[in-house]
Amino acid sequence: MLENISSVKVSGGWHKQYTHSSQSTHCTMRFAVFLPPGASEANKVPVLYWLSGLTCTDENFMQKAGAFKKAAELGIAIVAPDTSPRGENAPNEDSYDFAQGAGFYVNATQAPYNTHFNMYDYVVSELPALIEQHFPITSTKAISGHSMGGHGALMVALKNPTAFVSASAFSPIVNPIECPWGVKAFTGYLGNDKALWKQYDSCELMKNAEQAHYLPMLVSQGDADGFLQEQLKPENLVAIANKKGYPLTLEMQAGYDHSYFFISSFIDQHLLFHHQFLTA
């Protein structure tokens, strides 16, 4: 059962927040949806799923990215889930980069996280089914995200190339098995089986991608991002894409950091990128 907890008109459309009881995470989840002007049962629209980064909720992108005006113009809905399970029953740590606020979009196998931290299933299966059932939104979808959510977006797209028409990311963690954030999260959620880690690593997934299922991808990265060298490593993914002929475009942007100032500066470009495939 969906519960509408907020509804605000913006750019001629509507931004709405909902809560529901999730079968994937076994807790109450919250998500936000932007419906562009004219979206109706008689005029269903395609959708961009946005996955946010560490410490974020559904609110960060919706309030800071400045995406509504262009999404309204293009007739694209946007859905932003939370980044993890929440609540007293979901285990938590005193750490910004693990547990609540840091689900990493995996299905955890390790106790006590394996009951609730099934964000992969939530994002890939449960949430899209819910959205398509209750909103004037088609099954034609793209996916994007930032940082940890950029990892999630590229990884989910690579694992489900027929479910999405395109993927993009801002400042993504592209090779989590080779960076501190990823190693910490994967150890905690998945244990020490590094073969399982590779199933959620975009670099490893792209190595095994079949040409028939290549998906257009756009990555934007600021060269003044303090996490660039230690955590993000976009050059690792680019090297694989170049070797395989994978349709990935990396755009390095001079002077930009890891913040939503960066995202808001280039979100229109990403929406236009997705629009060409969402309406093809």
* Catalytic residue annotation: 147, 225, 258
Q: Tokens standing for 13?
A: 């459309």
Coil, strand or helix: which one is 145? strand
Q: Tokens standing for 213?
A: 């299922």
For 243, counting Cβ atoms within 10 Å of its Cβ (0-12 exposed, 13-18 middle, 19+ buried), the class is exposed
CA–CA dist 142, 88 (Å, integer): 33
Matching residue, tokens 């880690």: 197
Before 81, cis peptide (omega within 30)? Answer: no
